[in-house]
Amino acid sequence: MVRKTKEDAELTRQRIINAARTVFLTRGVSRSTLEHIAAQAEVTRGAVYWHFKNKTEIFYALRDRAFLPLIDRMYDTLAIQTDDIDPLTQIENSLSDTINELNENIEMRQIYEIMMIKCEYVDEFATVLQQILNNCSNITEKIQLAYERAHEQNLLTPTLTPHTLALDTHLFFSGLLHMWVKDADGSRFRHQAKQLIQSHINLRRK
């Protein structure tokens, strides 16, 4: 029974992507073979090769489904300028939202885990790392702008500049994401991630 409709084919494609997520997560990207992925998706390698050039392209598809959307979302949350909410709370919310999304969205969580501790950034994957770094820079810039607004509104302790505060926050959040992902049983960081974010921001409030 072959030759499905376009809708069926798209469904197969999605099943392959989802299968790859499961397989990557348990075996790591390198040790995952197209046969593993095909079996998990209940198709043959023929189907996988029809939809994707190779394993790398499946990885890219996975990244596009989770990593980029979450970055965009964070970026957007930070970029909004409103008077309803003070800039510090805005930063806090955007960080918390990201953690929320990871908590509630299994797919997101698993893809992040794959990208952080189940993937080796060499050759074709090295470019992915550069893209991540660039996104980080953009996020940091937005955070800095928010801190500048906070500074104008006289909300900050006068110790550091908005630029330095933004870098510190970025590093804090990078660390949090990494530890959040690694803390699989949730005992160390996951259960208190939001309080940690709140504390981090409170340390800056006048």
Partner DNA sequence: TTATATACAAACAAGAATGTATGTAAACAA
Partner DNA sequence: TTGTTTACATACATTCTTGTTTGTATATAA
Total binding residues toward DNA, as defined by CB under 7 A:
25
* Angle separating helix axes 6-27 and 55-79, nearest 10 degrees: 90
| CB proximity list for 3: less than 8 A, separation 6 or greater | none
Q: State the minimum distance, in angstroms, from the CB of residue 28 to its own copies.
A: 3
Euclidean distance between CA atoms 206 and 202, whole angstroms: 8
**Strand spans (E) along 126-199:** none
**By the rule CB under 8 A, 138 interacts with its own copies:** no
- Contact pick of 26, 50, 81, 182 for DNA (by CB under 7 A): 50
Q: Which does 84 bind (CB under 5 to 8 A by kind): DNA, its own copies, none?
A: none
Q: Which does 155 bind (CB under 5 to 8 A by kind): its own copies, DNA, none?
A: none
Q: State the minimum distance, in angstroms, from the CB of residue 174 to its own copies.
A: 3
Euclidean distance between CA atoms 169 and 127, whole angstroms: 25
| CB proximity list for 120: less than 8 A, separation 6 or greater | 29, 30
Query: Which string of x and - marks every residue 160-189 that binds its own copies (by CB under 8 A)?
Result: x---x--xx-xxxxxxx-xx--xx----x-
Euclidean distance between CA atoms 151 and 138, whole angstroms: 20
Asked if residues 116 and 109 have their Cβ atoms less than 8 Å apart, the reply is: no
Closer Cβ to DNA, 2 or 133, answer by number: 2
Q: Which does 118 bind (CB under 5 to 8 A by kind): DNA, its own copies, none?
A: its own copies
Q: Which does 159 bind (CB under 5 to 8 A by kind): DNA, its own copies, none?
A: its own copies
| Closest listed residue to residue 94, CA positions, set 76, 74, 79, 112 | 74
Q: Which residue do the tokens 């994957």 mark?
A: 125
Other beta carbons within 10 angstroms of residue 170's beta carbon come to 17
Q: What tokens does 200 get?
A: 């981090």
- Contact pick of 4, 45, 191, 205 for its own copies (by CB under 8 A): 205
**By the rule CB under 8 A, 61 interacts with its own copies:** no
**By the rule CB under 7 A, 46 interacts with DNA:** yes
Q: State the minimum distance, in angstroms, from the CB of residue 157 to its own copies.
A: 7
Binding positions for its own copies, rule: CB under 8 A: 26-31, 117-123, 129, 132-133, 136-137, 157, 159-160, 164, 167-168, 170-176, 178-179, 182-183, 188, 195-196, 199-200, 202-205
